[in-house]
Structures are given as structure tokens and as C-alpha cells.
């Protein structure tokens, strides 16, 4: 695997030799002093360029970065953002990954002011003065009362959809509703719990990837049990475990925030879930 030094030298040499590239900056986990360092970190690079269309008309120019295992171009796929930038996400045979974004010089507003940004090259002085890189933009924020109550309501409400999916033997629906809807609310509550135990000074990471770092061991181990295989009995066990975790954490977040936790919603939905599980209806 090419070293970090070799990768940065390559990225900057390509930019230096190409007069169309006017600035280069780095963002993502490699700029984050609080992110664990390992060989799997992407190189999230942005080139600010002139004549963007000359880069996108022929992708062969990216071969200079190395032999690829696979390539993805989000802006050339079915759900482009249409903001005016272009991305090449490259996984190389040596295991490195480079996510290269090109921003046209005519749209400097796309640079934004993300707190995880470091200027690497600026031929014309066009980059904004980035502050010292930190994850301050990604630190867990205290929930407003509306966000808190909405999270609780949606967690308990959508569990009835999961239960109905199981009762109807519609496993894809039940799993999708559980993992994509209910678990999202659980993740928000877990993040807020981490927030109240750290004075809202840390980030739980993209998709909760740092949960293990910040949750008490017993909570994290219980959280692992909220995952299930396709066996319905195991899925029910996972669901009730998720209910137990959510309830405990939601009450603590409410107490910290001065909000009201609607315990009756929980009790009513637990009755419904048990009735469906036991085929009472």
C-alpha cells in the first residue's frame, strides 16, 4: 500500500502540473484530530478548477492516480445532486481510496466552510481562511423539545408497522421498517445520551460508528443484541431489546433536558407488540 506521504505527493504533483487546477484542499476524517487513524481512511480531496468540462469529457485522466479495483462517479449516476461539482471515487489495487471532487472556479460557494478542511495548495489565493481543523461541526447537538418528542413518538409508532410485517410474514417490509426507520430514532436517542454524558463535546461519528467509544460497555453490548437474523423469534427479541434501551436512554435525556417523556405511549405500544407476537388479535 502506498504511504500517506506518497499519496499526498501524487495528489499535489498532479495539481501542480495541471494549470487548470487552481486550488486543492483536504476534508474528511484525515483532517479530524479526534478520528482514529488507520490505513482505511479515505483521501477526501477537492480540486478547484477551471474548465471543468475538460475533465469530465474523458475519465482516462484519472488513471494517473493508480490502478483501480473499482470506480464510482455519483454525479453520473441515477441520483446526482446537480450542484455543479463532479466526483470520482476510486478504490485502488493497493487498498487506498481517493474521493476526488472537482469544483468549478465559477462556483466557489460550493467550497463551504466545513470545520474539517485543510488547504493544501492555493495558486491564486481563492480558498477561504479555513479555521484549525476540528470536528466542531459534527459534535452532537442538544435536541430541541420538538425533535426529542418527535423521535420518541416515531420510534414507538413505527414499531406497530414492524409488528404487522412480522404477523403478515412480510420479512423484507418488517426488516426495512425496523432497521431504516425505527433504528434511526434509536440512533438519535443514543447520540443524545452520549451528548448528555459528555456535555455535548464529542461526535458519535457517521451512522454511529463511534458508539463503542462513548457508550458504557453494558449499553453497547445490549445495543448489539438489537440486530437480528431472519428468524422471527430472534427479531422479536431484538425489537424488545431496542425498546428497553430506548426507554432507559429517553428517560435520562428527558430528565437532563427538562422534557416530558410520554411513558404511556411506551406502555401502550408494548401491549400491542406483545399482543401481535402472541397472536391475540
Mean pLDDT value of segment 199-228: 96
pLDDT exceeds cutoff 90 at 158 = yes
Q: Cα 146 to the chain's mean position, in Å?
A: 23
Same domain, residue pair 120 and 160:
no
pLDDT at 82: 87
**Over 90: is that where the pLDDT of 84 sits?**
yes
Q: At which of 87, 117, 137 does a domain end?
A: 137
Considering only CA atoms, which of 63, 59, 112 is closest in space to residue 86?
Answer: 59
Same-domain status, 204 and 260: yes
Tens of pLDDT, residue by residue over 166-183, are 999 999 999 999 999 999
Q: Give the residue-averaged pLDDT of 204-215.
A: 95
Average pLDDT over residues 98-106: 97
Q: Tell me the backbone φ, ψ of residue 96, rounded to 5 degrees.
A: -70, 155
Backbone φ and ψ of 143, nearest 5° = -75, 145
pLDDT at 230 over 90: yes
Helix axes 145-167, 183-197, angle to 10 degrees: 140
Give the span between the Cα atoms of 161 and 166, in whole angstroms. Answer: 9
pLDDT at 118: 95
The answer to whether 46 and 74 are in contact (CB under 8 A) is no
214 and 192 inside one domain: yes
pLDDT band at 269 (very low <50, low <70, confident <90, very high): very high
- Does 227 have pLDDT greater than 90? yes
Structural domain count of the chain: 2
Q: Is residue 173 located within the same domain as residue 268?
A: yes
Look up the pTM and report it: 0.89
Nearest-angstrom CA–CA distance, 75 and 86: 6
Task: Supply the pLDDT for residue 100.
Answer: 98
pLDDT tens-digit series, residues 46-66: 999 999 999 999 999 999 999
Given 77, 104, 137, the domain boundary residue is 137
Does pLDDT of 114 surpass 90? no
Identify whether residues 106 and 14 lie together within a single domain. yes
Last residue of a domain, one of 137, 163, 191: 137
pLDDT at residue 34, rounded to an integer:
87
Supply the mean pLDDT for the chain: 96
Residues 181 and 96 in one domain: no
Tell me the CATH number at 159: 1.20.120.330
Q: Which pLDDT score, from 0 to 100, does residue 229 have?
A: 95
Residues 149 and 264 in one domain: yes
Instruction: Note down the domain range covering 160.
Output: 139-277
pLDDT band at 90 (very low <50, low <70, confident <90, very high): very high
The pLDDT of residue 113 is 83
Same-domain pairing of 160 and 38 = no
Amino acid at each position: 500500500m502506498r504511504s500517506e506521504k506518497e499519496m499526498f505527493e501524487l495528489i499535489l504533483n498532479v495539481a501542480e502540473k495541471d494549470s487548470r487546477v487552481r486550488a486543492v484542499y483536504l476534508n474528511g476524517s484525515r483532517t479530524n484530530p479526534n478520528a482514529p487513524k488507520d490505513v482505511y481512511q479515505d483521501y477526501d480531496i477537492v480540486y478547484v478548477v477551471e474548465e471543468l468540462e475538460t475533465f469530465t469529457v474523458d475519465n482516462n485522466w484519472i488513471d494517473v492516480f493508480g490502478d483501480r479495483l473499482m470506480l464510482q462517479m455519483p454525479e453520473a449516476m441515477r441520483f446526482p445532486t446537480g450542484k455543479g461539482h463532479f466526483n470520482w471515487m476510486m478504490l485502488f489495487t493497493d487498498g487506498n481510496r481517493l474521493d476526488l471532487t472537482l469544483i468549478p472556479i465559477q462556483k466557489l460557494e460550493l467550497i463551504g466552510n466545513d470545520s474539517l478542511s485543510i488547504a493544501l495548495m492555493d495558486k491564486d489565493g481563492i480558498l477561504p481562511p479555513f479555521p484549525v481543523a476540528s470536528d466542531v461541526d459534527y459534535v452532537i447537538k442538544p435536541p430541541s423539545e420538538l425533535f426529542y418528542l418527535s423521535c420518541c413518538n416515531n420510534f414507538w409508532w413505527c414499531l406497530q408497522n414492524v409488528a404487522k410485517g412480522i404477523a403478515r410474514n412480510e420479512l423484507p417490509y418488517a426488516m426495512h421498517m425496523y432497521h431504516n426507520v425505527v433504528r434511526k430514532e434509536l440512533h438519535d436517542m443514543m447520540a443524545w445520551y452520549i451528548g448528555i454524558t459528555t456535555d455535548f463535546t464529542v461526535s458519535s461519528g457517521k451512522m454511529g460508528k463511534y458508539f463503542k467509544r462513548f457508550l458504557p460497555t453494558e449499553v453497547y453490548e445490549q445495543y448489539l443484541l438489537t440486530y437480528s437474523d431472519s428468524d422471527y423469534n430472534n427479531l422479536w427479541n431484538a425489537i424488545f431489546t431496542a425498546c428497553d434501551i430506548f426507554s432507559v436512554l429517553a428517560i435520562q435525556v428527558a430528565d437532563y433536558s427538562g422534557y416530558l417523556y410520554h411513558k404511556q405511549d411506551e406502555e401502550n405500544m408494548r401491549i400491542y407488540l406483545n399482543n401481535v407476537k402472541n397472536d391475540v388479535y
